[in-house]
Structure 1
Amino acid sequence: MANRWIRPEVYPLFAAVGVAVGICGMQLVRNITTNPEVRVTKEKRAAGVLDNYEEGKQYAEHFVRKYVRNKAPEIMPSINSFFADPSRN
């Protein structure tokens, strides 16, 4: 039975599913630990509705968003400019 599922052809599928589960787990841990709207402990839940705009802004402006803010929305900009830039002809 193990030979049916554990074949070399299945390794990329295992890798893709593993990466997806890792990303989901990372996002779950990030939301539970740093999201200002999620309160796990009883003391924090008793505080009620807080107007902590600065903490929310800090949560929303994480390092990935800051990194890609001024980048072109392209996957391969050098190849795109090579084939699409009319000044290169």
Structure 2
Amino acid sequence: MASSNFNRWLRPEVYPLFAATGVAVGICGMQLIRNITGNPEVRVTKENRAAGILENFAEGEKYRENPVRKFVRGKSSEIMPNINNFFSKPEL
């Protein structure tokens, strides 16, 4: 019985599903670790929780301005800007 269930789910057709699920779980795990270790509003230790609400705007700004956000700032939000410009702005 266990062998038939194992063979049912371990087929080559299911590999993309496992890959997509694995990538999604990895992204969620990375975000969880990022929030636990870097978010100024998350306090794991008892001493930090006892501090209450802190007005640490510099630390919050540092957390918000992550490297990905700095990389995409000023870039076009289009996926293929050259193709979009070709069809939306024809040369006369």
One-letter amino acid of the counterpart of residue 42, structure 1: K
1:80 matched to 2:80: no
C-alpha distance in structure 2 between counterparts of 1:83 and 1:12, whole Å: 34
AA partner of residue 72 (structure 1):
S
1:33 corresponds to 2:37: yes
Deviation at 1:74, TM superposition (A): 1.4
RMSD: 1.4
The runs of 5 or more residues in structure 2 that have no matched partner are: none
Identity %: 70
Any runs of at least 4 consecutive aligned residues in structure 1 with deviations exceeding 6 A, and if so which? none
Alignment coverage as a number of residue pairs: 88
1:48 is matched with which residue? 52
Q: How far is the alpha carbon of 1:82 from its aligned partner?
A: 3.6
Q: Residues of 2 paired with 1:80 and 1:7: CA distance?
A: 40
Unaligned stretches of 5+ in structure 1?
Answer: none
TM-score by length of 1: 0.89
Compare CA radii of gyration and give the structure with the larger one: 2
CA deviation map 1:21-73 (0-9, x unaligned) = 00000000000000000000011111111000000001011011111111111
Q: TM-score scaled to structure 2, two decimals?
A: 0.86
